[in-house]
Amino acid sequence: MDRRNSLRTDHTDVKWMTYDRLRPNEGARNFPCVKVSTDKDLTALSFPPTTEIDLWSIANWNKIQGKSKAVLASPHFDKTRQRFLADRLDYWDEILASGVQISPGDNSEGE
């Protein structure tokens, strides 16, 4: 415990906790895992098997690169689901790149 506490003072932006405190959060069921590079680029690493695409997700995932690649690399989807999600993500990226504005509306419930 002393070792962990000494690390805390060196890294004030890091929160330390034991794994037994981790619990699934239903509100995060659509959140991809992303890597933030030093220049603030976001790259998708994985998507949860519960992923659903809605307007809130499309509007908020706009700056994340490599979404289709992450879906296609996931072992959590069968091939049909992988292809569907990857195609939809590419479709919405093209729509947003064309300049269309998407208003996700009120999606405080995550649906």
Asked if residue 62 is part of any domain, the answer here is yes
Asked if residue 10 is part of any domain, the answer here is no
Asked if residue 7 is part of any domain, the answer here is no
Render the burial of 27-61: b for 16+ CB within 10 Å, e for the rest. eeebbbebeeeeeeebebeebbeebebeebbbbeb
Count of residues in the chain: 111
Tokens of 58: 């499309």
Domain count, the chain: 1
Asked if residue 18 is part of any domain, the answer here is no
Write out pLDDT tens, residues 43-95: 999 998 888 888 888 888 989 999 999 999 999 899 999 999 999 999 999 99
**Domain that residue 67 falls in:** 29-97
Are residues 53 and 85 in contact, defined by beta-carbon separation less than 8 angstroms? yes
What span, in angstroms and rounded, lies between the C-alpha atoms of 64 and 96?
12
Asked if residue 87 is part of any domain, the answer here is yes
Asked if residue 44 is part of any domain, the answer here is yes
pTM exceeding the 0.85 threshold for the entire prediction: no
Q: How remote is the C-alpha of 103 from its chain's centroid?
A: 19
Asked if residue 15 is part of any domain, the answer here is no
